[in-house]
Chains A and B, each alone.
Chain A
Amino acid sequence: MDRRIRVLIAKPGLDGHDRGAKVVARALRDAGMEVIYTGLRQTPEMIVSAAIQEDVDAIGLSILSGAHMHYFREVKRLLDEQGASDILLFGGGIIPDEDVPRLKELGVAAVFGPGTSTQDIVDFLRQAVPERWRAQGLA
């Protein structure tokens, strides 16, 4: 497979805890993906517009402040609204187990909690993104 997976790693909202986001961004890059990191304090609008502009295959949101329901819902809504629902949405942070099914219902493909191996995230993207390409007849 020649095509490289492009991923946007984003920190929505006011939360400044960026260790995890940066570690994940770097691990994905080391695994051969093209990674764009947004930096801190992004609004859902900024994230979705960056994702469309950069033509990414997936968006990873990192949220540790407890505001995950709000931000995932907003990002998903904007993606759908702007005809970009083909972009895979995943995320991680301090997210209670109870909220994971609710996030999946919203259309979040995967949620990675504390202690996740970065290899699991790499494996997930390597499987889920090409599946989407095939479904869209791109691969």
Chain B
Amino acid sequence: MRKKHDWLRETYQKSLEKMPERPVAHRTLSDIAPEPLYTPEDIGVLDPEYEEKRGYPGEYPYTRGVYGSMYRSKLWTMRMFAGFGTAEQTNERFKKLLKAGQTGLSVAFDLPTLMGYDSDHPLSKGEVGKCGVAVSSLADMEILFEGINLEEVTTSMTINSPANAIWAMYLAVAKKKGYDWKKLGGTIQNDILKEFIAQKEFIFPPEPSVKLVIDTFEWGPKNVPKWNFISVSGYHIREAGSTAVQELAWTLADGFEYVEAALKRGLDIDEFAPRISFFFDVHNDFFEEIAKFRAARRIWAKEMRHRYGAKNPQSWMLRTHAQTAGVSLTAQQPLNNIARVAIQALAAVLGGTNSLHTDAYDEALALPTEESATIALRTQQIIAYESGVTHTIDPLAGSYYVEWLTDEMERQAMAIIEEIRRMGGVVRAIEEGYFLRELAEASYRYQQEVERKERIIVGVNAFTDEIPLKVPIQLVDPEVERVQAERLARVRRERDPKRVEEALAGLRRAAVEGQNTMPHFVECALAYCTLGEMMDVLREVYGTYQEPAYV
């Protein structure tokens, strides 16, 4: 049996060589100095399954965290999702967030962008800049990152169906500014399967959609090696009404589906798998959420190693972003949401997340204001710097309940993953309406439990107030639509039409002939093709998808 002493000397030490301990007092308020890690040895108990099930941080099966020294060396990335209105407005918000101590950017796009329409398309009317920033061409992307050093920040972009095009625009900005692609860090969400399952922002049918994703698996590691070209997301699945177990199972099933598609294309698992990242929701049930993160890491590691034969430990590690549960926020007594967010954020941290967004308390009402977004960031900072939970790694390991619940969630999730495999995989399950049915059931059941008061929601079905509390909210300027339309008109007028035509023809050829589309997306971006133009080419080649209206 491996001893803690050996882990300290080997894995922990090696981790510190890469990233030393943070220069803060790792001591409690009574001046007790906790060690980096506690194990059964420390309290004189036996745990015969310790190595197999829990192991050590930074070691297989990573239940206790993917890095050797975790938050002792480096806190999670505090990454707040932001975006609204025009590129200028969001750029200004980004600069403020960076100044307030945020360590990574995260871009929210508006619905037309997410659906691959330009801001001046008829279907975009009323939606431009509403729930995120509008990006219709490289011109918008250039403004969005004006004055921000792309080699110094990492940028996460929540974009799915048009992910290839939007990523290409970001890379085009970097290229034009002379930044080295090899030094760029960030993430594109690029998880189309969960769109069919939950969020419904799909454009093309499942099969060509997955092909576009696998293009990034093939092209990414060779060209932008530090970029996470996918963030396999449970967040939206959970927000659409799934349970924590379903979120866990379906997200991992999606991850395995991409791995299988990449293997089918002949890619080397140990080349692409290290850059697969994840994104989970973190809801109210404190211990269930903690157990979910721990179980997710263990399942991924086991399956990647044994089922798919990955040899590089980096391929076994499930690195994840987390976001507090928007769906749990209430419009009633909105300040209560600050407490909910704090509890959820603490669960994500105790679950060992690598990055975290905390929701603002007013998000059940509208987009967050600057003040509410700042409180949300401060909540993370209080957990990080004041609560003491970062003194020792995975402090809840060994709790009878947490370990039992981790095992139980793994067991239930694996049963669902096996069920999906028997159906023929995630794409087949989507086509059969499996996820729609399961989600409709789970969300209706939950709603009924709330209405019968079997589940209490403070301020909603218990402890209600008569006096509604007013909070200031962020409204989006309707001028955005006009500003965007003018900029698009200028882009179309000033670009080189021949280059545009050739770039779009190249993209079409690649799509028709089944070649990798990424180099063509980059050329289209550099030529100032609009997002709508690129997506229209693919709409013609691949067709579009309509889901059945199931209640």
Is B475 within 8 A of A96, CB to CB? yes
B365 CB-CB contact with A under 8 Å = yes
Instruction: Indicate which residue in B131, B331, B549 contacts A38 across the interface (CB closer than 8 Å).
Output: B549
Complex: chain A residue closest to B200, CB-CB = A16
A98 CB-CB contact with B under 8 Å = yes
Is B443 within 8 A of A115, CB to CB? no
A82 CB-CB contact with B under 8 Å = no
Is A40 within 8 A of B127, CB to CB? no
B72 CB-CB contact with A under 8 Å = no
What residues on B are CB-neighbors of A18 within 8 Å? 200, 240
Is A66 within 8 A of B131, CB to CB? yes
Is A94 within 8 A of B443, CB to CB? no
Complex: chain A residue closest to B447, CB-CB = A23
B32 CB-CB contact with A under 8 Å = no
B377 CB-CB contact with A under 8 Å = no
When chains A and B are docked, how far (Å) is the Cα of A22 from the Cα of B551? 5
Is B443 within 8 A of A14, CB to CB? no
When chains A and B are docked, how far (Å) is the Cα of A40 from the Cα of B124? 15
- How close is A135's CB to chain B, nearest CB, in angstroms? 30
- How close is B262's CB to chain A, nearest CB, in angstroms? 26
Which residues in window 62-108 of A have CB below 8 A to B?
Answer: 65-67, 69-71, 94, 96-98
- How close is A89's CB to chain B, nearest CB, in angstroms? 17
When chains A and B are docked, how far (Å) is the Cα of A14 from the Cα of B130? 11
B199 CB-CB contact with A under 8 Å = yes
Complex: chain B residue closest to A25, CB-CB = B551
Is A97 within 8 A of B201, CB to CB? no
- How close is B457's CB to chain A, nearest CB, in angstroms? 7
When chains A and B are docked, how far (Å) is the Cα of A38 from the Cα of B549? 7
Interface string of A26-41 (1 = CB under 8 A from B): 1101000001011110
Is B451 within 8 A of A118, CB to CB? yes
Is A27 within 8 A of B366, CB to CB? no
A119 CB-CB contact with B under 8 Å = yes
Instruction: Indicate which residue in B125, B131, B548 contacts A39 across the interface (CB closer than 8 Å).
Output: B548
What residues on B are CB-neighbors of A37 within 8 Å? 549, 551
When chains A and B are docked, how far (Å) is the Cα of A57 from the Cα of B546? 27
Is B364 within 8 A of A94, CB to CB? yes
What residues on B are CB-neighbors of A35 within 8 Å? 551
Complex: chain A residue closest to B476, CB-CB = A66
When chains A and B are docked, how far (Å) is the Cα of A39 from the Cα of B200? 11
Is A26 within 8 A of B440, CB to CB? yes
B48 CB-CB contact with A under 8 Å = no
* A14/B547 contact (C-beta < 8 A), A70-B125, A115-B330 known: no
- How close is B474's CB to chain A, nearest CB, in angstroms? 9
When chains A and B are docked, how far (Å) is the Cα of A27 from the Cα of B451? 11
What residues on B are CB-neighbors of A71 within 8 Å? 126
Is A22 within 8 A of B125, CB to CB? no
When chains A and B are docked, how far (Å) is the Cα of A16 from the Cα of B112? 12
What residues on B are CB-neighbors of A98 within 8 Å? 473, 475
Is B331 within 8 A of A115, CB to CB? yes
- How close is B332's CB to chain A, nearest CB, in angstroms? 5
What residues on A are CB-neighbors of B548 within 8 Å? 39
A13 CB-CB contact with B under 8 Å = yes
* A26/B199 contact (C-beta < 8 A), A14-B112, A96-B475, A97-B365 known: no
Is A14 within 8 A of B551, CB to CB? no
Interface string of B85-129 (1 = CB under 8 A from A): 000000000000000000000000001101101000001111100
Main SS of the interface on chain B?
loop
B241 CB-CB contact with A under 8 Å = yes
B531 CB-CB contact with A under 8 Å = no
Is A26 within 8 A of B451, CB to CB? no
When chains A and B are docked, how far (Å) is the Cα of A39 from the Cα of B447? 20
* A97/B468 contact (C-beta < 8 A), A14-B127, A25-B551, A65-B111 known: yes
When chains A and B are docked, how far (Å) is the Cα of A138 from the Cα of B547? 37
B28 CB-CB contact with A under 8 Å = no
What residues on B are CB-neighbors of A67 within 8 Å? 111, 126-127, 130
B460 CB-CB contact with A under 8 Å = yes
Instruction: Indicate which residue in A26, A40, A65 contacts B547 across the interface (CB closer than 8 Å).
Output: A40
- How close is B463's CB to chain A, nearest CB, in angstroms? 13
Interface string of B324-361 (1 = CB under 8 A from A): 00010111100000000000000000000000000000
Instruction: Indicate which residue in A15, A29, A43, A70 contacts B551 across the interface (CB closer than 8 Å).
Output: A29
When chains A and B are docked, how far (Å) is the Cα of A13 from the Cα of B547? 15
- How close is B477's CB to chain A, nearest CB, in angstroms? 12
Complex: chain B residue closest to A40, CB-CB = B200
What residues on A are CB-neighbors of B549 within 8 Å? 37-40
A49 CB-CB contact with B under 8 Å = no
B230 CB-CB contact with A under 8 Å = no
When chains A and B are docked, how far (Å) is the Cα of A34 from the Cα of B473? 37
Is A65 within 8 A of B440, CB to CB? no
* A14/B114 contact (C-beta < 8 A), A23-B443, A27-B447, A39-B547 known: yes
Which residues in window 124-153 of B have CB below 8 A to A?
Answer: 124-127, 130-131
Complex: chain A residue closest to B113, CB-CB = A14
Instruction: Indicate which residue in A15, A22, A39 contacts B443 across the interface (CB closer than 8 Å).
Output: A22
B308 CB-CB contact with A under 8 Å = no
Complex: chain B residue closest to A21, CB-CB = B551
A3 CB-CB contact with B under 8 Å = no
Which residues in window 102-124 of A have CB below 8 A to B?
Answer: 113-115, 117-119
6 contacts between A and B (CB under 8 A): A15-B111, A16-B195, A18-B240, A39-B548, A66-B367, A96-B366
3 nearest A-B pairs in the assembled complex, by CB-CB distance: A70-B126, A16-B200, A39-B549
B residues within 8 Å of A by Cβ? 111-112, 114-115, 117, 123-127, 130-131, 195, 199-201, 239-241, 327, 329-332, 364-367, 439-440, 443-444, 447, 451, 457, 460-461, 468, 470, 473, 475-476, 546-549, 551
Further 8 A-B residue pairs, CB within 8 A, beyond A39-B547, A40-B549, A43-B123:
A14-B123, A17-B200, A18-B240, A40-B547, A65-B131, A66-B127, A67-B126, A115-B364
